[in-house]
Structure 1
Amino acid sequence: MVGTKSDVGRTTLPRRQLGRALRDARQANGYTLEQVAEVLEISRSALGRLELGQNEKIKVRDIEFICEYYGLPEERTEYLKSLVVHSGTKVWWQDYRSLIRPGFNTYLQLEAAATELHFFQSLVIPGLLQTADYARNVEAYPPTSTMDEIERRVALRVKRSTILTRRHRPMRAEFLLHEAVLRTVVGSARIMARQHHHIADLSAQENVSIRVVPFTAGFPAGSAIPPYIIIDFLHNEPSVVYTEGAVGTMIFEEDDDVARFRDIFEAVRGAALQEQPSRDLLRTMARRYEQ
């Protein structure tokens, strides 16, 4: 588990993936950090930083040497070497970095590299589903924000959402939305009506599943559940879980933690309305907001 109240400025997603892969390979061989550091003639702290994704300057030949020592197959070695090359690549949201709240930069990297996203949300409509008007009201905090800052943050949200509608390999995403999210008025009834129509329209796409968890479902997982996102990747990279709150973010990476979140998700999914009834409810609520 990784916790942060600010961006993990010393790491990028490719470095995190590389570090975890090297740690898993070392542990699979039964080696300690000290043993590997001694054989490879590097410091234990340097190897530890590499496994945490905190080394900003990584040489491809060093990764090749480590992979050879761990006995990794050529295909796996080539993939890990490619992560070194991509670790310094500029990301599309870099121009918005001054507006991104602490911790969210890490999530954007995870989202950009994902193959599937699984959301449970009980507080606010997820950013990928938000209309510009809804996002504009959400982004009005803090009160000191200028109109230009708000509009740029809204633009970031709108641009992010195109991963669901792009022509080439649109993101597969599953959303479980608690009914409370849909009934919490943000901005005005007019904004909520358009927001609900927008969600209903998106739910008709093959790559998007949106289901409503009704009030009548109670607590299907046995207790109240905070919002979270399960993020899956290519190349058999381990899935992670991202959560956030008012004071910081948490990323769960351990297999047992991710498995527990999946179990919770399954329980909530089992209590949710099916896709068509959820879509019907969204359109019904939209009409009521219009009145």
Structure 2
Amino acid sequence: MAGRRSGLFTRRRTAPTARLRRLAREMRRLRSEAGLTREDVTARTSVNEATLYRLETAKGRPQRRTLMALLETYGVGDTKREAILALSTQAGEQGWLRPYHADLPDEYVGYISFEAEARSVRNYESSFIPGLLQTEDYARAVIRGVLPTVTTKEVDQRVQARIERQVVLAKTDPLELWAIVDEAALRRTVGGTKVLVEQLTHLLKVAAEPHVMLQVIPFGAGAHPGMPGSFVRMDFPDSEDPPLVYIDSMAGDLFLEADEDIRRYNQIFDHLRASALSPDDSAGLIAALVREIT
């Protein structure tokens, strides 16, 4: 459960970060190069298999003494050892984390973490306006509609988190966002006519920014590869951090990083942008919808 950690891990809530993923990948590689199984490592150190699994799957950041014991077992030299210890320290740097985030689901906190570190995001949405482009009133209406059993406090926390996320588009070196939205998401009257008009007007404003690309797949495009559901693909500034695909579904949230998954979703996104209207034509469609509604 969030907040409860083994004594071999830091006690602060550990959300996944790009650096934590890199640390996990490096520790898996070092163990493999040493020719050791997890059972072998447990037999040679005080680190149990459950703890090792958490480290190697980016489920937690180990304490320094745990990491030192593993690096010694793997025969890692001083220079490499210092680099990994530094990486572990950096993996715990989460300036975006707020006190109330402890009440948010782990998957959502993880998503916020990755998004805050990303260099670029490609987001396809079939039913919603992308979270980074939502107005506060639209976000509140969406959350209440999708999660009818949550409390008012939980709604407020999620809305606040969603609005705070949008700072990535306003910083000095902003996130590059390429969003593709199905026309159905634009026409769904979330929160009522007034809220929808404000949301569409906000879309037109944000889409004019040079670091934001917005395309709409019109109803006339017919069937397309995005109809099964939405997804997000993230790229990170450091070449050592591989791309990540995020899928939010009724069955739960998934983070995919296997090469074949990345290639598959790259292909899907390429098909979607080919099916979508150009950015200018997309803006024209949104403006026409505003006139139609009002």
Instruction: Name the TM-score, length of structure 2 as normaliser.
Output: 0.81
The structural deviation recorded for 1:120 is: 0.7
> Match of 1:285, as an amino acid?
L
Cα distance in 2, alignment partners of residues 55 and 148 from structure 1: 28
The structural deviation recorded for 1:50 is: 2.2
Counterpart contact for 1:102–1:248, Cα < 8 Å: no
| Pair 1:281-2:288 in alignment | no
Report how many aligned residue pairs link the two structures: 278
Counterpart contact for 1:64–1:81, Cα < 8 Å: no
The structural deviation recorded for 1:105 is: 1.2
The structural deviation recorded for 1:43 is: 5.2
Which has the higher mean CA deviation after the structures are superposed, 86-95 or 149-158? 86-95
1:50-79 Cα deviation digits (max 9, x unpaired)? 21123443328729946984689x6x7665
Counterpart contact for 2:44–2:73, Cα < 8 Å: no
**Structure 1 SS opposite 2:250:** coil
Which has the higher mean CA deviation after the structures are superposed, 249-258 or 144-153? 144-153
**Structure 2 SS opposite 1:139:** helix
- 2:142 corresponds in structure 1 to 138
Task: Give structure 2 stretches of 5+ with no counterpart.
Answer: 6-12
- 2:123 corresponds in structure 1 to 119
- 2:236 corresponds in structure 1 to 233
Q: What's the RMSD between the two structures over aligned residues? A: 3.2
The structural deviation recorded for 1:186 is: 0.2
Runs (4 or more) in structure 1 with deviation over 6 Å come to none
| Pair 1:224-2:227 in alignment | yes
Name which of 170, 180, 183 aligns with 2:184.
Answer: 180
Name which of 78, 81, 85 aligns with 2:85.
Answer: 81
**Structure 2 SS opposite 1:243:** strand
**Structure 2 SS opposite 1:262:** helix
- 1:249 corresponds in structure 2 to 253
- 1:160 corresponds in structure 2 to 165
**Structure 1 SS opposite 2:123:** strand
Name which of 174, 182, 204 aligns with 1:200.
Answer: 204
Instruction: Name the TM-score, length of structure 1 as normaliser.
Output: 0.82
- 1:5 corresponds in structure 2 to none
**Structure 1 SS opposite 2:209:** coil
Cα distance in 2, alignment partners of residues 112 and 86 from structure 1: 14
Cα distance in 1, alignment partners of residues 34 and 229 from structure 2: 37
